[in-house]
Structure 1
Amino acid sequence: MGDAGDAKAPVPVTQDLIASLKPAKVFKEFVQAEHQVTSLDYDDRGELCVTASDDETIQLYNCRSGKHVKTLYSKKYGVNLARFTHKSSAIVYASTKEDDTVRYHSMHDNKYLQYFRGHKRRVVSLEMSPVDDTFLSGAVDDSVRLWDLRSPAAQGHLRVQGHPVVAYDPTGMVFAVSINERAAVLLYDLRKFDHSPFLTIMIDDTAALSQIMIPPRVPIITYLGFSQTGQYILAGTSGDVHYVLDAFSGQMLFRLVGHVGLERAEGGSIGMVPTAGISGQELCWSPDGRIVIAGSATGQLCFWAIPEQPPASPPETLQPSGSLNGHGGLPRVVAFNPRCAQLSTAGAEVAFWLPDTQM
């Protein structure tokens, strides 16, 4: 595998570059049979990535060399949503057994540095601040909590119904929370954590969804991500549509369709009541915020080039600009390296993708 970090200048992320991506390195031996990787995260420098799997392992990879570094275990507590802190040697992650504690773990000497207790049910969203050592967690106990790595006590607590998903904007001063009961995204000022949201974005897609099913079946929001400029919010769902929202006006700008949502990934027919399924980690922005890449239940990766100008009559429905094949099984985890032209996908295996010009 070529050195994904060799380029001295940033590589423009164009449609042609995305279309040329191919798996350069595939790791199958670090995911046990019948198990799946459930999350993947890059460190700040884009040199390392860490995965969490439902086989209760944490795997560390070097993205530059394309080599596996080490395996760590969390057999007692389970592991999901592993996220690097701003130190490449440490992560936070959600427990899946025993309790719902978030754990701060040193990978260097394989020991726990802190425990963050408070959630009473499964943690489904976990995000580090882009600017400091605070992080947000959302759980199906109807709560979102703000934490600081230096303290075991929550710094803030929001009551939120349902399956809350959290995201920071690039400044770290604003955060978003999804509310599935109302199909809404709420924006908060971090300095006023316990105040009401300063913007509520209602995702009203009734007209389009009614053409598919009556009454319309509103999909579960399972992912939130701000674009690099903070202008757009990507609201990913477990269904067959994702949304691009204007973070300032709250307007729904684009509907991304043409993929098959991961609610269907585990087989069987879908019911009237939507569920999250295995959705939540299968889509992302390109680092420049111009392209969205998402895994599909078909096994493909779909990508959409987001127009630079907002549509005259929003929302505009966008079909994929292209698709990629090559991931073995379902690409339930998709992440773009923040520092170079490298994509990672994961599920039953982990794959590092590079443009074919770099292989």
Structure 2
Amino acid sequence: MAPPPNNANHGPPTITLTNTLMTRLKPAKIYKNAVDPAPPPTQGSYPQRPQNSGPRYITGISFDDKGENIITAGEDETFRLFLKTLHSKKYGVDLPRFTHRSTAIVYASTKEDDTIRYHSLHDNKYLQYFKGHKGRVTSLEVAPIDDGFVSGSVDKTVRLWDLRSPQCRGLLTVPSYPIVAYDNTGIVLAIAVNQYSRILLYDQNNYDKAPFLTITLEDPTLSLISYPPRPIFMTSLLFSSSGKFLLVGCSGDAHYIMDSYDGTLLAKLEGHVGLERRSLSAPPSIEPSKGISGEEVAFTPDSKYVIGGSLDGKVYVWDVQGLQPRGSKDEPPPAMKRIQPLASLDGHTGPSRCVKFNPRSAMLCTAGPEMAFWLPDNSENPEDIARGMLKGIRPV
């Protein structure tokens, strides 16, 4: 695996994230109306699709490359470029992702069809349609270095695309619906398949060949709780900025960090309440299931910390600086570390279902039924949040 571009996506380093700073993050601005409430059902009519009871939630967050713009998607079928609201009532909207232009995004549809849409935020127009999936798109990522992007669907396919052409340029069929991720070089494509607890790593230039690494996610501690052990349901994948680690987000009460070079399970992140239920009052299920987001856990840009949401509304911070990949294949694999949170931060009254750290600023964004921007509590000017002016996280 090639190293990532030097200082990729980072400005001049001025702030180093520390344990003290991370424990002092506070909600500096909260938008209570970030998602419109669900309308009451019309008497005598039948909804076209099941309507969830309770509040609506934000389901996706994306920063642009400079960290100056943020867009969200919600269950109210709107996407919001803070603080501008755009609608996609006909097609629905999920998984918004900035392209390498801050004025354009791609996103998945939730109604009508399963087309991916390329949308101009500048004039609120569609630029391109990407058709091919025969089921809802549940994973979508833009390549870090070019105009490519990749999508995964419940139709059990992964499709590779280019913004410049509506035609799919690559297709992979997998046993179950996939979760996709790029490393920071854009060379490695990771695909998680829940049915077999497998993570497949491909050279994206040779995606039609066999994966160069197949990882099986097995948590030895689960068999101590029940037998057979409860299955793990993966919801997200994210490479560290160095490319050495792979963060596996899960719907249950644990997330995992793996060595991306050889697949060794390095750490289990514990202490939060998993998001496989919509609320704490809902009964737990024997079989895990995907929540409404899949964006409930993320690295900080320097990969020193992991931020995670929780069903209890708190935001959790795990210090992962002590993790080290195995030096060579001749060394025995290290024992899995069980890491408890460095901090649990109070912020949301309902589940915190999406978390993203600004790629260039000391600012955290979290969302549930509302949107919250977090800053270290010694920050003086909340208006800087919307402008993304607290610059400079020092990369490692």
Q: Deviations over 1:184-220 (max 9, x none)?
A: 1110001101111100111111x31122222111121
Pick aligned residue for 2:265 from 252, 257, 265: 252
The equivalent residue for 1:35 is 56
The 2-side partners of 1:163 and 1:331 are apart by: 24
The equivalent residue for 2:388 is none
Secondary structure of 2:214's counterpart equals: strand
Alignment of 1:310 onto 2:324: yes
Post-superposition shift, 1:13?
Answer: 1.4
Aligned partners of 2:311 and 2:350 also within 8 Å: no
Which sections of structure 2, spanning at least 5 residues, go unmatched?
1-10, 38-54, 326-332, 381-396
The 2-side partners of 1:93 and 1:335 are apart by: 17
Post-superposition shift, 1:321?
Answer: 1.4
After superposition, the Cα gap between the structure-2 partners of 1:283 and 1:309, relative to the gap in structure 1 and judged at 3 Å, is closer
Which sections of structure 1, spanning at least 5 residues, go unmatched?
1-6, 62-67
Secondary structure of 1:229's counterpart equals: coil
**Cα RMSD between the aligned structures?**
1.4
TM-score w.r.t. length of structure 1: 0.93
Post-superposition shift, 1:313?
Answer: 3.5
Q: Deviations over 1:315-352 (max 9, x none)?
A: 11111111111123211010000001000001111111
Aligned partners of 2:182 and 2:190 also within 8 Å: yes
The equivalent residue for 1:263 is 276
Runs of 4+ in 1 over 4 A off after TM superposition: none
Aligned partners of 1:219 and 1:275 also within 8 Å: no
The 1-side partners of 2:266 and 2:179 are apart by: 20
The 1-side partners of 2:240 and 2:334 are apart by: 22
Which segment drifts farther, 327-336 or 288-297? 327-336
How many percent identity over aligned positions? 52
Aligned partners of 2:157 and 2:177 also within 8 Å: no
Post-superposition shift, 1:31?
Answer: 1.4
TM-score w.r.t. length of structure 2: 0.85
The equivalent residue for 1:240 is 253
Aligned partners of 2:105 and 2:121 also within 8 Å: yes
Secondary structure of 1:17's counterpart equals: helix
The equivalent residue for 1:182 is 196
The equivalent residue for 1:65 is none
Secondary structure of 2:133's counterpart equals: coil
Q: Deviations over 1:108-164 (max 9, x none)?
A: 011100000011111111000010110010111101110000111111011112231
Pick aligned residue for 2:91 from 74, 77, 87: 77
Pick aligned residue for 1:353 from 371, 374, 383: 374
Aligned partners of 1:41 and 1:84 also within 8 Å: yes
Alignment of 1:56 onto 2:77: yes
Q: Which amino acid aligns with 2:356?
A: A
Post-superposition shift, 1:43?
Answer: 0.3
Secondary structure of 1:287's counterpart equals: coil
- Which structure 2 residues correspond to residues 207-356 of structure 1 after superposition, within 5 A? 207-266=220-279, 267-310=281-324, 313-356=334-377
Post-superposition shift, 1:8?
Answer: 6.0
Q: Which amino acid aligns with 1:250?
A: G
Tell which structure's C-alpha radius of gyration is larger.
2
Aligned partners of 2:256 and 2:267 also within 8 Å: yes
